[in-house]
Each structure stands twice: as structure tokens, then as C-alpha cells.
Structure 1
Amino acid sequence: MSIKILVPVKRVVDPNVRVRVSASGTIETAGLKMSLNPFDECAVERALQLKEAGHASHVTVITCGQTTSQDVLRTALAMGADSAVLLDTGAATSTLDSLAVARLLQSYLSTQDCYGLVLCGKQAIDGDTGGVPAMLAGLLDLPQALDACAIEADGTGWRVTSGDDTGTVTWRLEGAAVVSADLRLAEPRRVTLPSIVKAKQKPLATIDAATFNIDLAPRAQIVELNDPPAREAGIKVKDTATLIEALASHRVFEQAGAVV
């Protein structure tokens, strides 16, 4: 197939690193290990699998940020992506919200053609809002499927299975589409040293985000940021009946919508 797949990615604090809220009420990232957002990593892997199966001809990864974000683009290139794009947002990087990112991606896509699929991670592990895929689909006026645990090419479209805590549903999206990836979508491949070396030779374009003339002022603001409260010690129960009684006392069944 001649279509291309675009995979937006984000640079986040490594999921194995424990973050703390500073005295100023912000997350200090200086000195912390940064990595490719895990949900985006799954999206990159599935995009590569679709290309290897002959359903796409090219996989491009893209991110919004500063030059420091090139490291996650290089990681995706080492996994097997064909090219990468950095939308350099300069000083506005620290305040980008979901709408700003979606509008930047829309502007970039308006200058391109042949992208038959935009495959995003369903959310970033820092903000956890999951707003970009749905907003981008709305701005592009394209069909969407969120929280995908499976995606296959289906004629001129895509067959996507989306899941949540209550079950799964399968959608057929005709033509170009926006899909967001759950962690179940694919198991990311390991990056080898030879692939890292080859990635340095692959094209990585930098575009000044200011050329799109988009207002990047955030529509959402963080009012307060605190560490989560200390977790209380658990209890031991002697039998199943006591366990059910303890769960009922915490209204677990009611919150889950079950009838006791």
C-alpha cells in the first residue's frame, strides 16, 4: 500500500523513575531519566508491524517540543521508523496542553498527503489526560477509535477493537482515521546497538512551530499539584465472608455499579 502512518510521540519522565513534587508545587525533571511515552511506544510498534505486513509504505514519528526531544525520536527511528519530525515549540514547550498539540499536528498534516492513519498513544503518563487523539480527529474531521487493543487493515479502511473495563467493541473505520493505542496493542521490540547506529543516518526534520501561526497559550491550567497521600496499611482477613464484609463496608460494590 502507498499510505503512510504518522505516529505522534512524547518525551516523558521514564516510568521507572519516581517523581516528587517540589516545594514550588511543580515536578522537577532536571536530572531525571527521560524516555519515550510507553503508550506511544506501543503505537510505534504496531505501525511498524502494519508496514512489515505490507499495509503501509512509510512510518513517520513526530513530536512537539525542544531539541532535547530528539532523543525519543531517535529511539523510534532505532525501532524501525523511517523518518522523524520535530515541531520546535521553544519556550512554549512547558505549557503545551492537549489542544495546542492537536492544533500543531493538524497544521502539520495540512501540509502533507498520503497519511492513511494517525496512530497515537492513548495518553501520556505525565498528564494522563488522553485528549490529543480525540481532539485531533475532531479538527481533521476523521473517524476515530480510542483505546485500541487491536487494529488491522480492512480494505480501504481499518478494523479496530477498542477495550475498557467493561468489555470490547469493534469498529470499522473507512479511509484515513485517527486511532489511539492501549498498552495491549503491541509489545515493543527491543532496540539493538546496530539499530541505534543506523537511526543516526535516518532523516529527522525540525520545523519551527511558529511558522504555523498558532496560539499555543494553554486553555487548561494546573491549579495545585501535591504528592498523593500516604497509603494506609492493609488488613488481613480470616475468610471469604469477612473479605466481602470488609469490601462492602468501603462501598466497593456500589462504586462498581454492582448489586450486593
Structure 2
Amino acid sequence: MSGRVLVGVKRVIDYAVKIRVKPDNTGVVTDGVKHSMNPFCEIAVEEAVKLKEKKLVKEVVAVSCGPQQSQETIRTALAMGADRGIHVEVSGNDYETLGPLQVSKIMAALAKKEDAQIIILGKQAIDDDCNQTGQMTAALLDWPQGTFASEVTLDGDKIKVVREIDGGLETIKINTPAVLTADLRLNTPRYATLPNIMKAKKKKIANVKPADLGVNLTSKLEVLRVEDPPQRQAGMKVETVEDLVGKLKESGKV
């Protein structure tokens, strides 16, 4: 039985919200906008909780990096079945520039501090779509990784992972400790029931600062500009093939 699973849970703008770019093009509008747990992180939490229910792991710890509101995201994970939470407090300018590398450094430091056997993350977040944190965390720890997992089977100190790749499915076997990232078809996350939401209020969330973990948040990346994608031009109907060829010639396409 493996010991402890760390699960990363990111607070993002809710998937159903229409994103608006700030007038000065420095980012997107977040004030007064509904936020939720990143959907791929929900899948990661569900997988960790399932491993615990099968008695394959002893404890599930949910981790989120961000401002005070990140605690709500951790509470959601606790209501889904995680045992306790760690809120890594990052706010102000540090939060604005917080990227996958900084989060990876935090996750790697926590994995050592907590003596974790498995880290499960969503394959990507729906806000920045980076798909980097799992890979970078594995590199920093020098642990094997099973990314884009659509099936995970624990077998002693080994993990069998079915991965979604462009050409189909790839099955790999890796040793623990390991980093896994959850793909869409890994599972269907459960809804937090009211009794479990009430129980989650009693579960502990520890507050940690990146400096406590020896992590420097300085970013070498700078966002120059954020803008809306270009508007699609209206299409047109043509009656015949000749008309189509004529239009294509006019527009210089043929």
C-alpha cells in the first residue's frame, strides 16, 4: 500500500464563463467573475480518492497555490474525499506571474516534505492551457511520469498507465514514486454531497508560504499582450461550381 498522494487543484475562471480581455490588454477580467476548480483537477482528485477507497493509498492531500480564495477550491477537493489540504499562499504580483515552473517547484518541495508516493495533476488547466506542470514536477524530482492517463492501475510499487496519444493508446509501466496527469477519459468526477461538504468544513487546511518551502517565485517569463482571437469573417453561399471557382480566383486563393 503506497503512502500519500498529493493532488494539485487549480482555481480557474469557470468553464461556462465568457472570457473578457482587459481594455489595456494586460490579461483577462477576473474581478467578480465566477471561478471553479479546473475540470482536469477534478478528475485528478477523483482518481486519488478512488485509490484511497480501494485501500491502495493511505492519504490524499489537496494542494492549491494562489490567493485566499484558493481555499474554496481546496474545500471542494475535501468535500470530494481528500483528507486534508495545503494552501500555498501566493498573492499580488507573484500570483500574476505564477506559471507552471513556479508551481512545479512548489509541488516538488511539498512531495519531499510530505514524503508523497504519487502526485496526480490535471493534464492541463483550462485558463493557460500550458500542459507543463506535471512534466516539470517529474523532471525536478527525477521521478517517472505517466501523462495523459486514461487508465491507472496500481500494482505493488509499480503503476500501469494507459496514455492517450495522437495515434491511439499507449500502455506503460512505471515505478513509484511517480507523477501522473489526468486526461478527460480517466474517470467521471463525483459531485460533492451536502453531508460531505459539511464534513469537509472540519478537515484541516495548512497555510504555507513558498519561502517556507525554499521556493523562489521569480519568473523569467513576461506576458507582453493578451488579446481576443480575430473575429471570423462571414461565409457566403455560391450556386454553382463555376461561381465557387470564380470567387476563389477573385480572392487570390487559386
Provide TM-score, normalisation by structure 2. Answer: 0.89
Is structure 2 residue 109 aligned with structure 1 residue 81? no
Superposed, which structure 2 residues align to 1:1-260 within 5 Å?
1-25=1-25, 26-91=27-92, 92-113=94-115, 115-233=116-234
Give the Å deviation of 1:68.
1.2
CA-to-aligned-CA distance 1:22-49 (integer Å, 9 cap, x gap): 1111201001000000000000001111
Aligned-residue offset at 1:232: 3.6
Unaligned 5+ segments in structure 2 are: 249-254
Q: Secondary structure at the match of 2:185?
A: coil
- When residues 235 and 103 of structure 1 are mapped into structure 2, their CA distance, relative to the original with a 3 A threshold, is same
Task: Compute the displacement of 1:213 (Å).
Answer: 3.3
Identity %: 39
CA distance in 2, matches of 1:237, 1:170: 49
* 2:47–2:187 CA contact under 8 A, matched in 1: yes
Aligned match of 2:252: none
- Alignment correspondent of 1:254: none
State whether residues 149 and 182 of structure 2, in contact with CA within 8 Å, keep that contact through their aligned partners in structure 1.
yes
Q: 2:84·2:204 contact (CA, 8 Å) conserved in 1?
A: yes
Q: CA deviation at 1:155?
A: 2.4
Residues 103 and 214 of structure 1 are in contact (CA less than 8 Å); yes or no, is this contact kept in structure 2? yes
15-24 or 87-96, which deviates more: 87-96
Determine the C-alpha separation between the residues in 1 that align with 2:222 and 2:178: 30
CA separation of 1:237/1:160 partners in 2, compared to 1, >3 Å: closer, same or farther? farther
* Structure 1 segments unaligned to the other structure (5+ residues): 250-260
Tell me the matched-pair count. 241
- RMSD over aligned Cα atoms: 2.0
Q: Take 2:2 and 2:128, find their aligned partners in 1: how far apart are those partners?
A: 35
Q: In structure 2, how many angstroms separate the alpha carbons of the residues matched to 1:65 and 1:132?
A: 15
**d(CA) in 1 for partners of 2:100 and 2:199?**
32
